[in-house]
Amino acid sequence: QVQLVQSGAEVKKPGASVRVSCKTSGYTFNTYALNWVRQAPGQGLEWLGWISSHSGGTQIPQKFHDRVTMTRDTSTSTVYMELKMLRSDDTAVYYCARDQGVRGVYHPSSFDYWGQGTPVIVSS
Amino acid sequence: DIQMTQSPSSVSASVGDRVTISCRASQDISTWVAWYQQKSGKAPQLLIYAASTLQSGVPSRFSGSGSGTEFTLTISSLQPEDFATYYCQQATGFPPALTFGGGTTVEIK
């Protein structure tokens, strides 16, 4: 069965960086893109971007373009999201989510499988 | 970016009730809307994609409709396990800009 298993909770100081991993299994890794979504405490969902598992190409919204990096390791079917220059308002649960691909291979669409979430706390 | 405005922000309902949640896009997005259910402390789960296509394994009491700027998620007969928060989501534009609605919490009346 499809599984997305994320790395554990992180506590970071303002200005630091955090890297969250998402190990996939149960399907052919190269055939589905992955997305990252976050949710601040008591708030809604916010998209951080998309990575093609096939090419490694990314789509990252302007708001995060200078702070977010997404990479993948095809040998371990794992994707990574690094967020730099952390601020207190980056405190959130970070999710990876598999893209269904219903809009083709170059455009994010809807998300059919999600990781369990990784809490990231930013505090001095 | 395209804004997605959900209404209501919360609704109180009883088991067996019909519940309707609306989502309005700030511009025409064709049928590129998905709906998710999220229970407390859990990851969201996909219910509907492409505005009206039921995700595999989702009960048929869930349905979606709409196109352009107006979209609706309907739960035909509310069940105890349906009390949760629901989000709409769009993915259009180039470069792609994916946004979620603010969420609707379905509470027990």
**A30-48 confidence digits (pLDDT tens):** 999 999 999 999 999 999 9
* Rounded Cα distance, B100 and B35, in Å: 9
Residue A121: which pLDDT band, with cuts at 50, 70 and 90? Answer: very high
The answer to whether the beta carbons of residues B86 and B33 sit under 8 Å apart is no
How far is the alpha carbon of A34 from chain B, nearest alpha carbon, in Å? 13
Quick check: B45 and B59 in contact, CB under 8 A? no
Residue whose tokens read 């809490």: A119
Residues 72-91 of B with CB under 8 A from A: 87, 89, 91
Is residue A96 within 8 A of residue A6, CB to CB? The reply is yes
- Per-residue pLDDT tens for B17-67? 999 999 999 999 999 999 999 999 999 999 999 999 999 999 999 999 999
Q: What is the mean pLDDT of residues B66-95?
A: 94
Q: Pick the closest to residue A45 from B84, B39, B103, B33 (CA basis).
A: B103
Cβ <8 Å between B49 and A35:
no
Q: What is the mean pLDDT of residues A85-101?
A: 97
Q: A115: which chain B residues are within 8 Å (Cβ-Cβ)? A: 43
Identify all chain A residues contacting B104, using CB atoms and an 8 Å cutoff. none
Q: What pLDDT score does B80 carry?
A: 94
Whether residues B50 and A50 touch (CB distance < 8 A) is answered with no
- Cα distances (Å, whole numbers) of residue A82 to A18, A23, A50, A67, A85: 6, 15, 13, 8, 10
pLDDT cut 90: percent of chain A above it: 93
Of A46, A109, A112, the CB nearest to B55: A112
In angstroms and rounded to an integer, the radius of gyration of the C-alpha atoms of chain A is 14
Using 50, 70 and 90 to split pLDDT, how confident is the model at B97? confident
- For B56, residues 6+ apart whose C-beta sits below 8 A from its C-beta are none
Measure CB to CB from residue B89 to each of A50, A110, A116 and give the nearest one: A110
pLDDT at A102: 86
Give the span between the Cα atoms of B108 and B59, in whole angstroms. Answer: 20
Characterize the bridge pairing of strands B45-49 and B53-54: antiparallel
The total of other beta-carbon atoms located within 10 Å of residue A29's CB is 20
Position A105 confidence tier, pLDDT thresholds 50, 70, 90: confident
Contact B98 A108 (CB under 8 A): yes
Min CA distance, B26 vs chain A (Å)?
Answer: 17
Q: What is the pLDDT of residue B102?
A: 97
H helix or E strand, kind and range, residue B33: strand B33-38
The reported pLDDT for the residue numbered B68 is 96
pLDDT at residue A104, as a whole number: 81
- Beta-bridged to residue B53, according to DSSP, are B49
Contact A3/B at CB under 8 A: no
Could you give the 3-state DSSP secondary structure of residue B20?
strand
Whether omega before B95 lies within 30 degrees of 0, making that bond cis, reads yes
CB contact under 8 A, B49 and A102: yes
Tokens for B64?
């979606």
A82 neighbors A95 (Cβ within 8 angstroms): no
pLDDT bracket for residue B13 (50, 70, 90) = very high
